[in-house]
Amino acid sequence: MITIKGLSKIFHTKDQDVRAVDDLSLEINKGEIYGVIGYSGAGKSTFIRLLNRLEDPTEGSIWVDDQNLTSMNKGKLRLARQEIGMIFQHFNLLWSRTVHDNIAFPLEIAGVPRAERQKRVNDLIELVGLKGRGGSYPSQLSGGQKQRVGIARALANNPKVLLCDEATSALDPETTDSILDLLVDINEKLGLTIVLITHEMHVIRKICHQVAVMEQGKIVEQGEVLDVFLHPQRQVTKKFVDQVMGDPEKETSMQVIKNNYEAGEIIRLHFVGESTNQALISEISRKFTVDVNILHGKITQTQKGAYGTMYVQFEGEQDEINRAIHYIQSTSVEVEVDPDA
């Protein structure tokens, strides 16, 4: 659906050249919700503006549904953009227009007849959960309602792709979840490909199928969300995973454990998918002569299944502890033994 090859963007300033996006390549499949995460300055906002050529790339190509956006003239690009909707962090609504008229605006520009516009707008108002608010002005709406208007407006021309630029960053957690649920609903009902950028791992965890991690203009890690949660490779990715899992830094947590639990073996368990439902700890207690002390743990849900991590302490004879660890390793639960604990 979307193929990006060797994409770069260099901004020329008085003092220096800034490479905001650096030789970036990605494949995004049709119907996916693809998340791009990075801290401020990583280049993710520039990247998403390149996708519909609000910014022109310095190098590289962008293909959307077999069309090369980077080689199009302004006329063809104007038509191609009708198939790419975009929602923004601060809504970008027309404050002098009602909800109805904000949503109708791109249809007016596209020359859609009035009767057809009316039906399309009413359908979209219902789709995004704003029935009865068509005559309201943006100043009369909450933040979440404003973003729903932004989503409806982005969907007006029946786009194939929806770009989300920090779409929930200005919202409170409860409203964020409701907007994310709406995006999932739209993805499933319309088969829409969604690309979103964020600095919040909660957003990635809740709705994305795939994730790419950006740092200094580059993609440093990418893959299925569950895989990235389970095996983060880069330090920046580990920090993002910790946002959701709530784990303290491993060095700090292990130091606390060492200070308070002198005996036994400290083990970190990773649960994925169906393994999160296993009564593993009680099985270990029944099968082996070891005492099990749960020190820290959390389970969270991704689009591809549950993911959990838990620190436990095993006390008993070393041979029996080794047998218990070997048993866990024979299951779908992954085991990490801290060598210094």
Identify the residue whose tokens are 């996006």.
Answer: 21
168 with 189, same domain? yes
Q: How many domains does the chain have?
A: 2
75 with 99, same domain? yes
94 with 239, same domain? yes
pLDDT tens digits, residue range 133-174?
Answer: 999 999 999 999 999 999 999 999 999 999 999 999 889 999
User: Nearest CA to 19 among 37, 55, 43?
Assistant: 43
How far apart are the C-alpha atoms of 253 and 242, rounded to whole Å? 13
- If 0-12 CB within 10 Å is exposed, 13-18 middle and 19+ buried, where does residue 28 land? buried
Give me the CATH number covering residue 256: 3.30.70.260
- The amino acid occupying position 188 is E
220 with 112, same domain? yes
* Whole-structure pTM value: 0.81
215 with 330, same domain? no
Q: What percent of the chain has pLDDT over 90?
A: 61
In this structure, of 36-45, 53-62, 228-237, the range with the lowest mean pLDDT score is 228-237
pLDDT tens digits, residue range 219-269?
Answer: 999 999 988 887 888 999 988 888 776 654 454 455 565 566 666 788 888
Among candidate residues 213, 228, 244, the one where a domain is terminated:
244
198 with 291, same domain? no
258 with 226, same domain? no
User: Nearest CA to 68 among 54, 82, 53, 58?
Assistant: 53
Among candidate residues 199, 226, 244, the one where a domain is terminated:
244
305 with 214, same domain? no
231 with 290, same domain? no
User: Nearest CA to 216 among 12, 5, 336, 44?
Assistant: 44
Q: Which residues contact 73 (CB under 8 A, 6 or more apart)?
A: none
pLDDT tens digits, residue range 260-305?
Answer: 666 678 888 877 765 555 678 888 889 999 998 888 777 777 777 7
User: Nearest CA to 232 among 294, 245, 280?
Assistant: 245
Range of the structural domain that residue 333 is part of: 250-337
How far apart are the C-alpha atoms of 295 and 293, rounded to whole Å? 6
159 with 300, same domain? no
Among candidate residues 194, 214, 244, the one where a domain is terminated:
244
By DSSP bridging, strand 218-224 and strand 210-215 are antiparallel
138 with 265, same domain? no
Q: Extract long-range pairs of 114-122: CB within 8 Å, 24+ residues apart.
A: 120/156, 121/152, 121/156
235 with 288, same domain? no
Q: Is the pLDDT of residue 340 over 90?
A: no
Give me the CATH number covering residue 140: 3.40.50.300
